[in-house]
């Protein structure tokens, strides 16, 4: 036998060693844990489960890399249906879902990480996060998720061509359990299976997001969460407020956005954090700063408020999404020497984040 043939046989055998066979789990199995309204029914000739604004989990599964498959059917009514994987608990996981009402539009489907129960679709959109697709309503569609380290491919019906390549999964790759869900609508699921694999086959070419531009704030000091009412009408920060905060360092993602959902769940008492950085100016000057935030912000320079804004979902009109980006410019009044820039960011819905970039670093430097 030729050496190449022996090598190929070894690789094939080794791959099989690290791959479990696909495991089908009928929805009649008591392994499923349901949260919300559900019913076992037959739909279009398939034994299925109908979920109504509900979730279902297989908490006895531990999957890091592998393949998840299921059949799904739903109407065109507004709502969201999808799968959860690498679940650490019911509040922290990776998520893929379909927007039935956006069939054919650029946001027909969505990949997003979930931190503390908060999906971040306002932070993650466009290439690598969503893509157009036309759904077949009230008919079975077959869905396959191929999950490999920091990548995921999504296939719908055609198992040869992925419809979505999420080439930068945001959460650290870590084994977790799996589940399915619906929000704001009914959907039928059938033929759910999962398969753990060491090296799942990714067909898409390797890709990455562009490197951040010079001047992007890539490291932030983030406070613990508090209620937004603490800063209501506060145009100047008190020494007591500033000294009462605890801080941790968070790095920005490749887009320049820092996902603040990692800090806390959102409640009335924990809907705001301060994200801050220091800039050293070699003179007293006014310096432009491009910013993005979700959902509300007050910006303070050396303890004094200089900007306030709001970008809530549908806050401007019914089509307004509130997605994050460098859409606003503020002009910072800098003193000579070190200047502390504080962003008090309040979350309402859809993603909690902030980003900032100086168009030029002339006459300033950023603290390490």
Residue 362 tokens read as 């002339």
User: Quick one: average pLDDT of 254-277?
Assistant: 97
For 283-298, the pLDDT digits (tens) are 999 999 999 999 999 9
Is the pLDDT confidence value at 7 over 80? Answer: no
For 331-346, the pLDDT digits (tens) are 999 999 999 999 999 9
Contact of 266 with 118, CB cutoff 8 Å: yes
Check residue 11 and give its pLDDT. 45
Is the pLDDT confidence value at 279 over 80? Answer: yes
Is the pLDDT confidence value at 6 over 60? Answer: no
- Buried b / exposed e along 59-93 (16+ C-beta atoms within 10 A): eebebbbbbbbbbbbbeeeebbbbbbbbbeebebb
Residue 20 confidence class, pLDDT cut points 50, 70, 90: confident
Q: Which residues make Cβ contacts (< 8 Å) with residue 247, sequence separation at least 6?
A: 221, 222, 223, 224
User: Quick one: average pLDDT of 317-330?
Assistant: 95
CATH class (in words) of the domain with range 20-196: mainly beta
Helix (H, G, I), strand (E, B) or coil at 302: coil
Is the pLDDT confidence value at 23 over 80? Answer: yes
Check residue 309 and give its pLDDT. 96
State the average pLDDT for the chain: 94
Task: Report the alpha-carbon distance of residue 307 to residue 285 in Å, rounded.
Answer: 17
Quote the pTM value: 0.92
Which H or E element spans position 359? none
Check residue 18 and give its pLDDT. 55
CATH of domain 219-366: 2.60.120
Look at 43-52, 236-245, 336-345 and tell me which has the smallest mean pLDDT. 236-245
Is the pLDDT confidence value at 4 over 70? Answer: no
Q: Give residue limits of the domains in the chain.
A: 20-196, 219-366
For 121-161, the pLDDT digits (tens) are 999 999 999 999 999 999 999 999 999 999 999 999 999 99
Check residue 29 and give its pLDDT. 98
For 70-112, the pLDDT digits (tens) are 999 999 999 999 999 999 999 999 999 999 999 999 999 999 9
Is the pLDDT confidence value at 14 over 90? Answer: no
Residue 367 confidence class, pLDDT cut points 50, 70, 90: confident
Check residue 19 and give its pLDDT. 66
Residue 190 confidence class, pLDDT cut points 50, 70, 90: very high
Check residue 108 and give its pLDDT. 98
Check if 20-196 and 219-366 are the same fold. yes
Taken in order 136, 138, 140, 145, the sign of the CA dihedral is positive
């Amino acid at each position: 036998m030729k050496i190449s043939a022996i090598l190929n046989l070894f690789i094939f055998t080794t791959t099989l060693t690290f791959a479990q066979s696909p495991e089908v789990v009928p929805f009649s199995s008591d392994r499923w844990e349901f949260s919300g309204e559900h019913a076992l029914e037959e739909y279009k000739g398939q034994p299925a489960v109908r979920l109504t604004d509900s979730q279902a989990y297989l908490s006895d599964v531990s999957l890091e890399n592998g393949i998840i498959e299921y059949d799904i059917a739903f109407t065109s009514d507004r709502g969201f249906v999808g799968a959860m994987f690498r679940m650490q608990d019911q509040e922290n996981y990776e998520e893929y879902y379909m927007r039935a009402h956006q069939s054919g539009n650029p946001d027909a489907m969505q990949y997003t990480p979930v931190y503390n129960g908060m999906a971040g679709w306002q932070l993650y959109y466009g290439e690598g996060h969503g893509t157009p697709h036309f759904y077949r309503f009230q008919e079975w569609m077959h869905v396959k998720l191929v999950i490999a380290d920091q990548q995921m491919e999504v296939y719908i019906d055609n198992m040869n061509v992925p419809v979505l390549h999420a080439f930068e999964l945001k959460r650290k790759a870590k084994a977790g359990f799996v589940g399915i869900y619906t929000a704001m609508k009914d959907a039928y699921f059938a033929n759910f299976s999962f398969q753990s694999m060491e090296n799942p086959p990714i067909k898409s070419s390797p890709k990455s997001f562009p490197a951040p531009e010079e001047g992007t704030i890539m490291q932030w000091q983030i406070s613990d969460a508090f209620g937004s009412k603490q800063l209501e009408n506060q145009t100047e920060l008190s020494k007591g407020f500033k000294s009462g905060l605890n801080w941790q360092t968070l790095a920005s993602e490749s887009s320049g956005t820092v996902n603040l959902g990692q800090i806390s769940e959102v409640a009335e008492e924990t809907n705001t954090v301060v994200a801050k950085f220091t800039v050293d100016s070699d003179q007293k000057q006014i310096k432009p700063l491009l910013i993005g935030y979700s959902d509300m912000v007050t910006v303070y320079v050396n303890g004094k408020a200089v900007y306030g804004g709001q970008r809530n979902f549908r806050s401007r009109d019914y089509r307004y999404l509130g997605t994050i980006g460098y859409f606003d410019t503020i002009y910072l009044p800098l003193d000579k020497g070190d200047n502390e820039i504080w962003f008090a960011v309040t979350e309402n819905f859809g993603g909690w984040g902030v980003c900032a970039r100086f168009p030029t670093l002339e006459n300033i430097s950023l603290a390490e």
